[in-house]
Structure 1
């Protein structure tokens, strides 16, 4: 009776005809010179193709070649390559990498069809923790650190002038001023201006603690896109909801980072360890902040100079852009539909906000 595989399991039969189809594709991918053999250099390229494998000892290639190269020719023939992939001694190096690559080149089928009855087969199972394996210190996660340093330097410059309440020369040039919306840079540069030391430190701590881990998995440019999208969405949303409000601070970008974590948890649910716990932590963090803001404003009637609309706009942008640009380790059909929905909704909201700021002049009088 045919067995039923879970979605996260791919069975690869090893009969001569079927195994040739799967393993030949992998073999050809790394046979760069198409000579039908994998050389020492090509083998090294396979090992170093994942960032965390740069930390392998220098002699790892020699050891692997000595085990896999049965005829001591200095090259891996196709049969030796297949044996290498199934060698228990080398599974720690190649097992997970090959499983993911095979999963990407084999057409997806319903779970019932993924099992082929053969006397000999290899089963690669994807378990929680794949996402955590993607953390890497190379390239260094420095974009949030650089942005934070720029914010510190600019704040210190104004403080040296005796102006720490967003009234210094830098603040006047960079903060979002609804009367100067034609100076378009202000929709972004207000993130570099802070009204006091506490305001600066809170934003720095949150964006570093949340931004650096994201960079280690998704790389700096994706995280910067999410961050800037949150900043821009925060100012655009504020300009429409509170057209007389000035903005200073990186809270729009910070909230984008919070919901970007929620986005990557959603898109990499099956690949994460304790995904439900991580999701609950970030949802609880956002809920407590929003709940406190609503309580202070509508029940205690506390007057605070906090741009809650910017927070909300940044959070929405972080979720949508996070789904759109952050890495999705294993793509599924519903995730592709969610990706399109997020991208379309984000651009629709942003275009609407930009057009409203340009043409709805009566709203800002």
Structure 2
């Protein structure tokens, strides 16, 4: 330690801590003139950086500087900078966007050497248990897409139930159900998701798609989750029409399984940024395997008549996995993930094109 400087209340470790290196990397990034201080201009650049979500007006920057500059020097030294980032009073100024910004540029996991550099550009996390992925949860914009789809399903079901027809014999169900004898009515390949066979069937799909879909929307936004959901629905009907050409389809299971697989996709693509990734992955894989396995067992081994379109489940899951890899957010792109992205996109469009063409031109299969 240089002469004239000493710490009276804080013991200094022999080597830099992970937290010191963590903040030092951010501090050095915005200390443009390398004078060991963050000026007003440099602080403003931090806040208005392209990596940050919202610009703040000058008076807010003044307030932040006033709170953080403890010695009124007009600059922030390293210790003041760290205190600023950890100051609970500033959370009211920044909101949750500061945490999102900080966790988007700081290192996540990996070995650290005493020079402050991360070998191979690997990163570490200093969060208190939550991974970087978990920091991305946001209630704005509101996650309402899955809620609106669920409400539409409820309204159509209640309309038919009010007529005493809750078993797909009502007018709404007859209009939207996938009917193999009316394959030329192409909308049925999508709208069958709005039709349900009984209250239990409806409630199960509602619960799953809300509990899985809303959290996805909070991180990946509504339009990405909608694409995944609808891709699973369409893939389920296309695959079922080819494998079981005389089977009727009702229910949102194709979309539900797409959401399950989308969670798997986002776990794979954000493995290093997610807390307890392996546990979450195993839970979703087990859920999907048990459900599909049970349907296959009862149909082919117990020879029981089951109204479960397991092919729609499986196809929806495949579509959800591929589309999820293609459209869901990847917080930190790596080379192998870019190759996986291209593979998923090409495979999805190849399978969908094959399914559409087979349904159009393989007419003998449906006689």
Normalised by the length of structure 2, the TM-score is: 0.76
Aligned counterparts of 2:150 and 2:334: Cα–Cα separation in 1? 36
1:314 to 309, 313, 316: 316
Q: 1:85 to 1:98 in 2, by over 3 A?
A: farther
Tell whether the 8 Å contact from 2:68 to 2:83 is kept in structure 1 after alignment: no
Among 92, 97, 103, the residue aligned to 2:101: 97
Number of the residue aligned with 1:156: 158
Shift of the 99–295 alpha-carbon distance from structure 1 to 2, 3 Å rule, reads closer
Aligned with 2:82 (options 82, 88, 96): 88
Question: Which of 132, 135, 138 is matched with 1:136 structurally?
Answer: 138
Q: Do 1:85 and 1:95's aligned partners in 2 also have CA atoms closer than 8 Å?
A: no
Distance 1:95 1:262, change over 3 A: closer
Q: CA deviation at 1:87?
A: 1.1
Report the RMSD for the aligned CA atoms in angstroms.
3.7
Bigger CA drift: 350-359 or 60-69? Answer: 60-69
Distance 1:129 1:232, change over 3 A: same
Select between 312-321 and 91-100 the one with higher mean Cα deviation: 91-100
Partner of 1:298: 300
Q: Which has the higher contact order (CA 8 A, sep 6+)?
A: 1
The 3-state SS of whatever aligns with 1:87 is helix
Report which stretch shifted further, 233-242 or 172-181: 172-181
Instruction: Name the structure 1 match of 2:244.
Output: 242
Which whole-Å deviations, capped at 9, do the CAs of 1:264-317 have from their partners, x for residues lacking one?
Answer: 111111111111111111111111112211221222111111111111110110
The answer to whether the 8 A contact 1:132-1:273 is kept is yes
Residues paired across the two proteins, number: 322
Q: Is the Cα contact below 8 Å between 2:31 and 2:42 reproduced in 1?
A: no
Indicate how the Cα distance of structure 1 residues 85 and 143 shifts in structure 2: closer, same or farther if over 3 A, else same: farther
Q: How far apart are the structure 2 equivalents of 1:188 and 1:139?
A: 26
Taking a change above 3 Å as real, the CA distance of residues 264 and 174 of structure 1, as seen in their structure-2 partners, is: same
- What are the Cα deviations for residues 153-201 of structure 1, in whole angstroms up to 9, with x where unaligned? 0011111122111111111111111222221111110000111111101
Q: 1:335 aligns with which of 334, 337, 352?
A: 337
Give 1:23 deviation, angstroms. 3.1
Deviation at 1:61, TM superposition (A): 4.8
2:287 & 2:26 partners in 1: Cα distance? 49
- Mapped contact 1:200–1:249 kept (Cα < 8 A): yes
SS at match of 1:138: coil
* Match in the other structure for 1:169: 171
Contact 1:175 1:193 in 2 (8 A): yes
Contact preservation (8 Å) 2:295, 2:306 = no
Gaps of 5+ in 2: 1-17, 33-39, 92-97
Distance 1:214 1:14 in 2: 29
> What SS class does the counterpart of residue 141 from structure 1 fall into?
coil
- Structure 1 residues 195-204 or 60-69, which shifts more? 60-69
